[in-house]
Amino acid sequence: QVQLQESGPGLVKPSGTLSLTCGVSGDSIISSNWWGWVRQPPGKGLEWIGEIYHSGSSNYNPSLKSRVTISVDKSKNQFSLRLGSVTAADTAVYYCVRDAQGTVGFDHWGQGALVTVSS
Amino acid sequence: DIQMTQSPSSLSASVGDRVTITCRASQNINSYLSWYQQKPGKAPKFLIYGVSSLQSGVPSRFSGSGSGTNFTLTISSLQPEDLATYYCQQTYSRRTFGQGTKVEIK
């Protein structure tokens, strides 16, 4: 079955860059699905960050677009998130997701990775 | 950007009750509406897509309806395991979630 697993530092300093990688198993990163990121600050709701297709096409949340880059590594069947100039407001659980067919919805989620922004 | 507004923000109901959660889009999203269930401490689970299509394995007590800008998630007979927060999401243009509805059991 399809499985997604986030990995990366759990602590990032203010003004630094948050970097996470999502390893995909049970599906190919070059399938007809999109691959994305969602975050959830402690005690709050879900916020869509952005997503990418294996061709390199991407879409981002306008509120984060200036700080976000999502990339794909076809050789490793994984995709990554970089969020720059982080502040405490970026502290959240970050989920990687599979966006089925690019229109259906997020049918598979990683378990989530807590990233804390603190000095 | 498309905004999604859910109501109520929270509700408390008894086992066996019929529960309805509404979701309103700021513009027409046709049928590009999905629902998710998030239990405490867990990743969200994909429940419904295309307004009313149940994801595989989702109990039939869950159903979705609506079109255009107004949508509804219904739990026909609330069960203890349905304790969770429910989110709607539009997939018409980029992606946006509603703010969530927390369902508690009386």
Q: How far B104 CA lies from chain A's nearest CA (Å)?
A: 16
> A81 pLDDT band (50/70/90 cuts)?
very high
Residues B44, A106: C-beta atoms closer than 8 Å: yes
Q: How far B74 CA lies from chain A's nearest CA (Å)?
A: 19
Closest residue on chain B to A47 (Cα): B97
Residues A104, B43: C-beta atoms closer than 8 Å: no
Residues B46, A99: C-beta atoms closer than 8 Å: no
Strand ranges in chain A using DSSP code E only, listed in sequence order:
3-7, 11-12, 18-25, 34-40, 47-52, 58-60, 68-73, 78-83, 92-100, 105-109, 113-117
pLDDT at A102 over 90: no
Spatial CA neighbour of B62 closest among B72, B71, B70, B73: B73
Q: Which secondary structure element, helix H or strand E, spans residue B6, and what is its range? A: strand B4-7
Size of interface A-B (CB pairs under 8 A): 58
> A116 pLDDT band (50/70/90 cuts)?
very high
Q: Which residues of B touch A60 (CB under 8 A)?
A: 94
Please tell me if residue A112 touches chain B, with a CB cutoff of 8 Å. Answer: yes
Please tell me if residue B94 touches chain A, with a CB cutoff of 8 Å. Answer: yes
- Rounded to whole angstroms, how far apart are CA atoms B20 and B72? 7
pLDDT at A70 over 90: yes
Please tell me if residue A82 touches chain B, with a CB cutoff of 8 Å. Answer: no
Please tell me if residue A8 touches chain B, with a CB cutoff of 8 Å. Answer: no
Instruction: Give DSSP secondary structure letters for B33-78.
Output: EEEEEE-TTS--EEEEETTTEEPTT--TTEEEEEETTEEEEEESS-
Which residues, 6 or more positions from A18, have their beta carbon under 8 angstroms from its beta carbon? A8, A9, A12, A81, A82, A83, A84, A86, A90, A94, A115, A117
Residues B95, A51: C-beta atoms closer than 8 Å: yes
Spatial CA neighbour of A30 closest among A55, A6, A60, A58: A55
pLDDT at A48 over 80: yes
Read off the pLDDT of residues B89-98 as tens digits, 9 standing for 90 and up. 999 999 999 9
